[in-house]
Structure 1
Amino acid sequence: MHDDVHQETVRSGRFMIVIGLSTVGLVLAIAALVVAAPSGWQEWPPSASDVGVLVVTLALTLAVGVGTALMRIQVRVDQVLEVRVRPLWYRRRIAPTQITSATVVQMTGANSGGWGIRLVPGGTAVLLDGGPGVQVEVAGARSLRFRCNDPEVVVEALRARGASVD
C-alpha cells in the first residue's frame, strides 16, 4: 500500500513539566523532613508498617511526578493511526478506513476539558500543551482529538490510506 510512515512526538508543555518537577520537589522535601526530624518519634516510634506505607507513598508520588515531567504523545500513521501517551499506557489504534472525518483543530486546555487524557462529550482528547491538533471521527466509536506538530501532514497521511477527510 503506502511505504511512507508519518511519525512524530510531542513533548510535555511547560505547564506539565512545572507540575511534574514541583511534585518531585515536594516528595524530596517531605523525605528530607522525615529523615532530619525524627526527634518527635522518641515517645512513639513508628511501626515498620508506618515506615513502609510512607516509603511506598513517596516512591509512587515521585514516579508520578517524574512521569508527568517526561510525558509525551507519539503519533504514527501507517496501516493504522496510533496515538500513544508515554510513559503511561494509553494507546489508541484506529484503522484509516474506520475514520469518517479528520480535521485540523486548534487545541487548548479550555476546549479539550483540560490537559492530559480527557473524556469529552462523544470522545477523548489528548494534549500536553496548547497548539494544533487533529479531530478524528470514527465510525461506531468515540471520536479522538489529539495534539500534534504537523496536523496537515497527519490528515494527508490518513487521506492517502483511505480515511474520509474533510
Structure 2
Amino acid sequence: MRPAPYEETLPSGRLMPVVGIALIVIAVGAVALPLVVPPSPGNDMGPGDTAVLIGTLAVTVVLGVGVVRMRETVRVDDVLEVRVTPFWYRRRIPLDQIASVTPMTLTGRNSGGWGIRLIPSGTAILLDHGPGVHVAVHGKRALRFRCGDPDALVAVLEARGASVR
C-alpha cells in the first residue's frame, strides 16, 4: 500500500509582498508623473506615447500583484514536484532520479538571493528564509527549496522509494 501524497503550500515571507507593492507604487507614480507635470512646449504626448505608458503600467501592476501573491507548493506522489505560483516555474523530479536529500536552513546568503536563482550546484527557490532541503539529482542540476518540515519530507520521499541518503 502506497503512502498518501504529501503536499504543502508555503506563502512568501515578508520581503516579496513589499517588493510587489513597491513595483505597483513605482508604476503608478511613473504614469502619474507625465500626467501631472505639464510637458515642455513642443513635447506633447501623442497617442503612441500614451499607449506605451498605459501598457507599461498594466504589465508592471500585474507583475507586482503576482509577486505579492507568490506561493511555493511542494508535492510528492510519483514524482517530487515544486511549483511557484502565480508564475510558471515548475520542476518535476522522478523519485528514482533523486541521489540524496539534505535538510538545511535556507537564507538569501546561501541560496544566491531571494526568488528563483541559479546557484553553482543547481537551482534555489527562496521566497522566505527558514528550513528547507537540498535535493541532489542524478545527472541533472540540484534543487534547493523551502519546506515546512524537512524531516517529514525526507521521510515521505524515503517511504516512496527515493534514495535520500
What TM-score, normalized to structure 2? 0.93
The alignment yields a C-alpha RMSD, in angstroms, of 1.5
Q: Percent identity?
A: 52
Amino acid at match of 2:34: V
Are positions 1:18 and 2:18 aligned together?
Answer: yes
Partner of 1:139: 138
Instruction: Provide the C-alpha distance between the structure 1 equivalents of 2:75 and 2:89, rounded to a whole number of angstroms.
Output: 14
Query: In the TM superposition, what is the alpha-carbon distance from 1:121 to its structure 2 partner?
Result: 0.6
Q: Deviations over 1:108-165 (max 9, x none)?
A: 0000000100000121000101000011011111000001112111111111111111
Instruction: Provide the C-alpha distance between the structure 2 equivalents of 1:136 and 1:122, rounded to a whole number of angstroms.
Output: 10
Q: Deviations over 1:74-94 (max 9, x none)?
A: 100011100001111110001
Partner of 1:164: 163
The secondary structure found in structure 2 opposite 1:136 is strand
26-35 or 45-54, which moves further after superposition? 26-35
Asked if 1 retains the 8 angstrom alpha-carbon contact of 2:21 and 2:64, the reply is yes
Asked if 1 retains the 8 angstrom alpha-carbon contact of 2:82 and 2:90, the reply is yes
Instruction: Provide the C-alpha distance between the structure 1 equivalents of 2:35 and 2:2, rounded to a whole number of angstroms.
Output: 59
Partner of 1:47: 46
Are positions 1:85 and 2:84 aligned together?
Answer: yes
Instruction: Provide the C-alpha distance between the structure 2 equivalents of 1:33 and 1:9, rounded to a whole number of angstroms.
Output: 39
Are positions 1:153 and 2:152 aligned together?
Answer: yes
Amino acid at match of 1:10: L
Residue-pair matches, total: 165
The secondary structure found in structure 1 opposite 2:72 is strand
Are positions 1:27 and 2:33 aligned together?
Answer: no
Are positions 1:5 and 2:2 aligned together?
Answer: no
The secondary structure found in structure 1 opposite 2:15 is helix
Amino acid at match of 1:83: V
Instruction: Provide the C-alpha distance between the structure 1 equivalents of 2:3 and 2:78, rounded to a whole number of angstroms.
Output: 10
Instruction: Provide the C-alpha distance between the structure 2 equivalents of 1:145 and 1:134, rounded to a whole number of angstroms.
Output: 6
Instruction: Provide the C-alpha distance between the structure 2 equivalents of 1:3 and 1:162, rounded to a whole number of angstroms.
Output: 11
Q: Deviations over 1:35-69 (max 9, x none)?
A: 334x3266432122111111111111111111111
Instruction: Provide the C-alpha distance between the structure 2 equivalents of 1:92 and 1:74, rounded to a whole number of angstroms.
Output: 11
Instruction: Provide the C-alpha distance between the structure 1 equivalents of 2:66 and 2:106, rounded to a whole number of angstroms.
Output: 22
Query: In the TM superposition, what is the alpha-carbon distance from 1:3 to its structure 2 partner?
Result: 4.4
Partner of 1:73: 72
Partner of 1:99: 98
Instruction: Provide the C-alpha distance between the structure 1 equivalents of 2:160 and 2:3, rounded to a whole number of angstroms.
Output: 11
What TM-score, normalized to structure 1? 0.93
The secondary structure found in structure 2 opposite 1:10 is strand
